[in-house]
Amino acid sequence: MAYWLVKSEPDAFSWDEQVANNVEPWTGVRNHQAKKNLMAMAVGDLAFFYHSNVGREIVGVVEIVRAAYPDPTAPQGGWVCVDVRAVGPMPTPVTLARIKADPVLSDLALVRQSRLSVVPVSDAHWSHLCRMGGWGDGRHDGPGVPSPGLIVVPLE
């Protein structure tokens, strides 16, 4: 299993919309490195859902439920998307300011490659960020930590 962080501007697509829709295609990625990251995702991988521009914080976790396929929103093809399912909100959103202030996270891709909308997250960074957000160490057998495939957000 791998871990990721995906960014969305909340005025374009927010965590609340992800929760309401449950499974959504992660479309609109138009950067070649971010595309490579999407193509590396596998079903069962987990990703932090990050609000960019407004909020600038990790607000939830999604699970990859469909591997990369052609992005139907791409006008000229060649781009991919994945389908993600809401797993659960971060009990305490983790702000970019807190991330940048933490020396443990100085080499996190979100900090080093701030323009990329899809970045990998190491196991150590995943655990650290989960602790910062109130989810134990982020391992699937820890107390209060959602497991892949387990939906902990209300579906209405």
User: Which token pair is 139?
Assistant: 């391992």
Domains: count for the chain? 1
Task: Judge whether 44 lies within some domain.
Answer: yes
Distances (CA, A) of 121 to 79, 112, 129: 22, 12, 10
Phi-psi region of 111 (alpha: psi -120 to 50; beta: other; left: phi over 0): alpha
Task: Judge whether 148 lies within some domain.
Answer: no
**pLDDT tens, position by position, 136-151:** 866 544 444 454 444 4
**pLDDT tens, position by position, 83-111:** 999 999 999 999 999 999 999 999 999 99
Range of the domain at 93: 3-132
Task: Judge whether 153 lies within some domain.
Answer: no
List, edge to edge, every strand of the sheet that includes 46-51: 23-26, 80-95, 57-70, 46-51, 3-8, 118-121
Task: Judge whether 143 lies within some domain.
Answer: no
CA distance 4 to 155: 24
The structure's pTM equals 0.88
